[in-house]
Amino acid sequence: MVPLTESAIRASFVNCSKGEAKRLAVPRDLDAQPWTDLDFFGWHDPAAAQRAYLVAESASGLVGVALRVAPHTGHARRSMCSLCLTTHTGDGVSLMTARKAGPSGRHGNSVGAYICTDLACSLYLRGRKDAGRRIEESLTLAEKVERTRNNLLGFLANVAG
């Protein structure tokens, strides 16, 4: 993806207030991110592990979503990211919940998805990060990236809708 600036990131959020978007923790090392290998940009608030954020390019421009990360129950089990379909053990996948955009969100509605806890789906797909085991598939990288992107756009559409 195209490298993002802090102001572009802050302006992209669809499911939090302008004040929240202004205050939320954007990584300082934006220059050091592996942008060419990223299908979306995701990170955690270093001061609050339950807060995560995700910014992606969509047909209507950049879309940023604030996420709440559900705490782990402690027992290790195998689970799969609903975006990139990477399988992790233990706490490698987390349930992340996004408040819906607009009035629906203000009425308390949210959507959840199981996502790689470190939001590094793009790097797992490209083999730059190892989750221990991937299901062998005959898809090319381009096809896996396309599938991940479609899954992500579906999630973003649910947040927006």
DSSP 8-state class, residue 13: B
Q: Give min distance, CB of 84 to Zn ion, in A.
A: 3
Q: Which of 9, 16, 121, 123 binds Zn ion (CB under 5 A)?
A: 121
How many other CB atoms are found less than 10 A from the CB of residue 27? 16
| Structural element, H or E, at residue 123 | helix 121-125
Task: Confirm if 67 and 16 have CB atoms less than 8 A apart.
Answer: no
Q: Give min distance, CB of 128 to Zn ion, in A.
A: 13
Site track 75-114 with Zn ion (rule: CB under 5 A), x = hit: ------x-xx-x----------------------------
CB nearer Zn ion, residue 5 or residue 132: 132
Residues 6 or more apart in contact with residue 145 via CB below 8 angstroms: 39, 122, 125
Q: Give min distance, CB of 115 to Zn ion, in A.
A: 6
**56 part of the interface to Zn ion, by CB under 5 A:** no
DSSP 8-state class, residue 3: P
Positions that interact with Zn ion (CB under 5 A): 81, 83-84, 86, 116, 121
